[in-house]
Amino acid sequence: MTHLVAVGGSDAGISAALRARELDPATEVTVVVADRYPNFSICGIPYYFTGEVAPWQSLAHRTAADLEATGMRLRLDTRATRIDVAARTLAVRTADGVEEDVAYDELIVATGALPVRAGIAGLDALGPEQGVHVIHSMPDALALDRDLERRQPRSAVIVGAGYVGLEMAEAFTARGLRVTLLQRRPEVLSTLDRELGALVREELAAHGVQVVTDAAVRSVEHRPSGLRVVTDRASHDADLVLVVVGVRPNVELLERAGATLGAGGAVVVDASMRTGLPGVWAAGDGVVTHHRLLGETYLPLGTTAHKQGRIAGENAVGGTARFAGSVGTQVVKVFDLVAARTGLRDHEAVAAGLAPVTIASVADDHKRYYPGAHPIRFRVTGDPRDGRLLGAQLVGRRGTEVAKRVDVFATAIHAGLGVAQLSDLDLSYTPPLGSPWDAVQLAAQAWTGEAERMEGRTGIEPA
């Protein structure tokens, strides 16, 4: 009987184990999980803190019992420490310190990513006991929950204004905390162009969040009166500090086994999720991502991790699946605003050797004569030389279907469509929900019209 071992109990690891069991029930599958919370939605944690999701156990996609009912074996509170590629064994250590070797026929490593400290002085000496938190796992979330209940803090500083920082700013505000959000870049949500990021900052400010940009955090200090966050411009006092400044790939296990590292310091895998080590596959936030426009990059996303894990699980039991690539589609809700992006922004396209043009436009989410219409702001990026769609950014009110509209752009990029070809799509229409020309198509037409004027001609051939 084949024994498949998966290391990691989050998106990629569980997806791999489930797919392997689905395709070959005769395969013995063991999942090694470093904590006791397999298959929990880390992306859902901010909504537990807003109070919209309760209890915290409901964040589990599946319970441990559900997973074991599929026939897999879970090794919880067990940390993988070493891979012996030649012997095909995985050394593990349990919570009580017991060490053993687990033999495998095929191994899938899905150890994910680790939170970045960004060189901030004082962080290594501070933790939840002092009111300083990261939020990257269920143990992190539960430690933060205990701190909120125990100390009842009244103010919080969040270091980092990316997706998690914005979501937690909303969560803390919902809990009644005064929130200061520190961002080292000129605008929040730096995955968007500044013109759209400014709209997100305005939404934060409208809900009482103090936003400080261009502020590089130097240190976090614990004082008798509380916590102090020192930037290159000023200091900010608070009862609680949350640091969410990004992640780095957790590659130690595979690197020590001889795996090759690539973009972003992540493990190199091929489209089948092979690492190049015999019998060893890898997936998720610890590995490189094939981007359909950029090639090899590092882009840790939950959607990608699910796909890669499923492919690794299928191939580990004899399949031939291949990862089709990412286009970097992302979306975030910030209070009553939704911001999304897919593909490349202008500067990213230039760095890739392309000659992009980005055109801003505004279109209503549905016919204005029907009550409740709201504008969606677009920035569409394309290559005027061949009309190819390269990327799109959208910001609109919640309810304007920003997430689904960015998916239209993502699908078009995946398929290699030209911007003009978006007008050919047969999209749905009814006055309460859309227009005969959907907002996506109006944004595409705005780009095409401007590109034609820039080129001084009346047509651009589609890609």
The token pair that represents 165 in the structure block: 């920082």
Q: Put the strands of the sheet holding 337-343 in their side by side order.
A: 330-334, 337-343, 388-397, 375-383, 357-364
Maximum distance among all Cα pairs of the chain, rounded to whole angstroms: 73
Residue 242 is given by DSSP the state E
- Give how far Cα 161 sits from Cα of 58, 61, 195, 215, Å: 27, 27, 16, 11
Backbone region of residue 165 per phi and psi (left: phi > 0; alpha: psi in -120 to 50; beta: other values): alpha
Q: What angle do CA 358, 362, 365 make, to 5 degrees?
A: 130
How many residues make up the chain in this entry? 463
CA distance 251 to 374: 45
Partners of 379 in the β-ladder? 360, 393
Number of Cβ within a 10 Å radius of residue 132: 22
Alpha-carbon distances of 157 from 168, 182, 187, 210, 211, rounded to whole Å:
10, 7, 17, 9, 10
Which tokens belong to 247? Answer: 């992640």
155 C-beta neighbours (distance < 10 Å), count: 18
- End-to-end C-alpha distance for the chain, whole angstroms: 50
Q: What are phi and psi of 412, to 5 degrees?
A: -65, -40
Nearest by Cα to 450 from 372, 356, 366? 356
> What is the Cα–Cα distance from 329 to 386, expressed in whole angstroms?
23
Cis bond leading into 55, ω under 30°?
yes
Known catalytic residues are 43
The conformation of residue 198, written as its DSSP 8-state character, comes to H
* Nearest by Cα to 5 from 356, 285, 282, 270: 282
In the DSSP assignment, the letter for residue 121 is B
Closest CA to 157 of 276, 275, 243, 253: 243
Residue 310's H or E segment, with its range, is helix 302-316
